[in-house]
Chains A and B, each alone.
Chain A
Amino acid sequence: MAYAARQDGLPAIRPPLMKRIADASAPYLYSAPTLILIVTVMLVPLALGISYAFRDVQLLNPFSGAFIGLDHFRALSRDEAFFRSLRNTLWWTGASVLLQFAFGLILALLLDRPFRGRALAQALVFLPWAVPSFLAGLNWAWLFNPVVGPLPHWLYAAGLMSEPGNILSDPELAMWGPIIANIWWGIPFFAITLLAALQAIPRDLYEAASIDGAGAAQRFLSITLPFLAPTIAITVLLRTVWISNFADLIIVMTNGGPADRTQIVASYIFTQAFKRLDFGYASAVALVLLALLLAYSLLILILRQWLLSKD
């Protein structure tokens, strides 16, 4: 009866209160589990970690935990190993990103041309991306090992090495080990993203350009590169941050050795926490790394603003 009355009587005004509350809260209900997990497992530990940087927290010492102010940072300013790891981080990140990008771009350009068996070739060259990073590290460590790996013998045969030794134990060359493994592992990432961007370029642009008599190099410089530029900028910037934090390969292949020559800041943090169980000092180093990454991101943002305002 009530139903019939409503149908011909009152105009349908607002839905009932309960329904409105349910509607307004719906998106929050959908995202609540995700939000709760992220806050409890990432944000709370992040805040806790920042507090550790100013406290004496050692896992094996039950009396530790006191507030010690800036003591960790004072120790840090005299820590040779830390400054070495900073320089190593620059070297590791710069060489890895640059070479991954260069080889990734070439691969993307190669795959952009249609040819028979392209799908298969693509699957094969992208395969390293699926290899777990610890296995990639071990695999390359074995390749560099003169007992089971071919690389030292090949380098020796090519006259690049005086004897078939392990470059991972050579302080001068050791960093190249993880860098090469990282390049192998990271080329697919750049190739996949750049290939997607390449395939989004309208083909008729190239045709029009060739009709106008533009050569291959000219077409690349005036069509391909400008179209790729945003993708290149974003992937390179994000990848730089990511790789500077990427310690897996180093921990697996050299554990920072020989004599800290391959220690980057991220692996140094892990070593402090995992081997020496000095959580306070590890968190202080982590805080410095966080500050540096923030500064880097800010610099990029400012650069971007400046470039935009210039146009």
Chain B
Amino acid sequence: MRAKPALLTVAHRLAILAYIAFALFPLFWLLKVAVTPNDLLYSEGIRLWPSRASLEHFDFVLRHSAFPVFFRNSLIVSGSTAVVVTILASLSGYALSRFRFRGKYWLVTLMLLTQMFPLVMLVAPIFKILSPIGLTNSLTGLVIVYSAFNLPFATFLMQSFFDGIPKDLEEAAMIDGATQFVAFRQIILPLTLPGVAATLGFVFTAAWSELLFSLMLISGNEQATFPVGLLSFVSKFSVDFGQMMAAGVLALIPAGLFFLLIQRYLVQGLTAGAVKG
């Protein structure tokens, strides 16, 4: 009778381990090839770890390639998008959470609608609109486009955080003579700081990963974001696997850091934007 639960436990742990292995293996392999010196890459084939590891690919990528520029561009775009979206979404999320107004239903409907249609539809028209006003091949253009794309989801996310804070707090402040905006800024917003951090993290990660619009809108190396730079590198130097994977590892770093930051809020974030990755 005792053997059965023990067996179940073992099976359970093995299954968990299998999932962990599946989740981590591709990333492990990325790292492994990135630290494999070129002369060992082909001779050692599919060994799990090279007999001699080196950081030469990272050194090359950081010093002799355009990747630091791509990295900086992506940081600027994702960081600015995250800040812009978080500010605007805390305002609109607050409106949805605290006010009853006639346009509310339409606002919510509009934002849900934007989550349902294929964004790839907008690739051509957005290019046509941004090109005459000089916002193609510009980081500002990308920030504007990404901000709009992320606002609906971020608004719902911020709304869910505001909903968790009792209304009495700002009512008390307003009885003491503060205007609602002052109450919002000085009392409610500080209480939602974890929500603000989570929104920053989600939006940053989404902007960092965006591919199609930056491929379409950016053409030169100067303004290329990381995905654009990496893909053009792949099509140009498709033999230099070590360097490509070293660049890939670098692209993973900011996303990984933000993942740690927002880990606690994953559930809330995914339910607020169930339609978003």
Q: Which parts of B238-277 form the interface with A (CB within 8 Å)?
A: 241, 244-245, 248, 251-252, 255-256, 258-260, 263, 266-267, 270-271, 274-277
Interface residues of B in 215-249 (CB under 8 A from A): 215-216, 227, 230-231, 234, 241, 244-245, 248
**In the complex, how many angstroms separate the beta carbon of B138 from the nearest chain A beta carbon?**
14
Q: Is A301 on the interface with B (CB-CB < 8 A)?
A: no
Contact of A242 among B16, B20, B276 (CB under 8 A): B276
Q: Is A134 part of the contact surface with B, judged by Cβ < 8 Å?
A: yes
Contact B26 A139 (CB under 8 A): yes
**Which residues of chain B are within 8 angstroms of A247 by Cβ–Cβ distance?**
120, 212
In the A-B complex, the 6 residue pairs with the smallest Cβ-Cβ separation, listed nearest first, are A41-B148, A130-B259, A132-B209, A30-B95, A27-B99, A279-B124
Complex contact A107–B19 (CB within 8 A):
yes
A252 at the interface (CB under 8 A from B): yes
Q: Do B123 and A245 touch across chains, with their CB atoms under 8 A apart? A: no
CB < 8 Å: which of B46, B107, B149, B267 contacts A153?
B46
Across the interface, A270 reaches (CB within 8 A) one of B123, B180, B234, namely: B123
The residue among B118, B149, B275 with the most chain A CB atoms within 10 A of its own CB is B118
Taking CB atoms, residues of chain A closer than 8 Å to B89 are 34
Say yes or no for A169: interface residue by CB 8 A criterion.
no
B252 — which chain A residues lie within 8 A by C-beta? 131-132, 135
Apart from the given pairs A184-B26, A266-B120, 20 other A-B contacts in the complex at a CB distance below 8 Å: A26-B99, A27-B103, A31-B91, A31-B92, A37-B144, A43-B110, A45-B125, A45-B126, A48-B129, A110-B19, A115-B12, A126-B23, A135-B255, A142-B245, A143-B29, A238-B274, A242-B277, A279-B127, A286-B120, A290-B118
Q: Could you pull out 13 A-B pairs where Cβ atoms are within 8 angstroms?
A: A24-B101, A27-B95, A34-B88, A34-B92, A41-B126, A123-B263, A124-B20, A126-B266, A129-B266, A134-B231, A270-B212, A274-B212, A283-B124
Q: How many A-B residue pairs have CB under 8 A?
A: 259
Residue among A148, A153, A242, A247 facing the most chain B CB atoms (10 A cut-off): A148
Interchain CB contact under 8 A, A42 and B148: yes
Chain B interface size, as a band, is 35 or more
Most chain A CB within a 10 A radius of its CB, from B88, B91, B231, B241: B88
How far is B274's CA from A186's CA once the two chains are assembled, in angstroms? 12
Residues of A within 8 A of B230 (CB): 134-135, 138
Chain B residues whose CB sits within 8 angstroms of the CB of A57 once the complex forms: 124, 128
Using a CB-CB cutoff of 8 Å, which residues 32-60 of chain A contact chain B? Answer: 33-35, 37-38, 40-46, 48-49, 52, 57, 59
Q: Which of A139-182 contact B (CB under 8 A)?
A: 139-140, 142-143, 147-150, 153-154
- Which one of A2-10, A66-74, A188-196 is at the B interface? A188-196
B267 nearest CB neighbor, chain A only: A196
Show the binding face of A for B, using Cβ within 8 Å: 24, 26-28, 30-31, 33-35, 37-38, 40-46, 48-49, 52, 57, 59, 106-107, 110-111, 113, 115, 121, 123-136, 138-140, 142-143, 147-150, 153-154, 184, 186-189, 192-193, 195-196, 234-235, 238, 241-242, 245-248, 251-252, 266, 269-270, 273-274, 279, 282-283, 286-287, 289-290, 293, 297
Interface contact A46-B121, CB-CB below 8 Å: yes
* Cα(A184)–Cα(B215), bound, Å: 24
Classify the secondary structure of B's interface with A: helix
B30 located at the interface, meaning its Cβ lies under 8 Å from any Cβ of chain A in the complex? yes
Residue in contact with B211 in the complex, picked from A43, A133, A149, CB distance below 8 Å: A133
- In the bound assembly, the distance between CA atoms of A304 and B201 in angstroms comes to 35
Closest CB in chain A relative to B194 CB, distance in Å: 17
What's the nearest-Cβ distance from chain A to residue B186, in Å?
Answer: 16
Q: Are the C-beta atoms of A37 and B241 separated by less than 8 Å?
A: no
CA distance A147 to B88 in the complex (A): 48
Contacts of A246 in B (CB 8 A): 277
User: Bound state CA distance, A293 and B115, in angstroms?
Assistant: 12
B277 cross-chain contacts in A, Cβ below 8 A: 129, 133, 186, 189, 242, 246
Residue of A nearest to B123 (CB): A273
Q: CA separation between A52 and B234, bound complex, in Å?
A: 33
B124 CB to closest chain A CB (Å) equals 4
Nearest-neighbor residue (CB-CB) of A243 within chain B:
B277
- Would you call B251 and A135 a contact (CB within 8 A)? yes
Query: Are A132 and B227 interface neighbours, CB within 8 A?
Result: yes
Contact partner, B118, options A37, A127, A289, Cβ 8 Å: A289
| Cβ A138 vs Cβ B234 within 8 A | yes
A132 touches B266 (CB 8 A): no
Chain A residues closer than 8 Å to B215, beta-carbon distance: 274
- On whether the beta carbons of A125 and B23 are closer than 8 Å, the reply is yes
Q: Whole-angstrom distance from the CB of B246 to the nearest CB of chain A? A: 12
Instruction: Please determine whether B121 and A127 come into contact, CB atoms closer than 8 angstroms.
Output: no
Measured CA separation A27–B42 after assembly (Å): 63
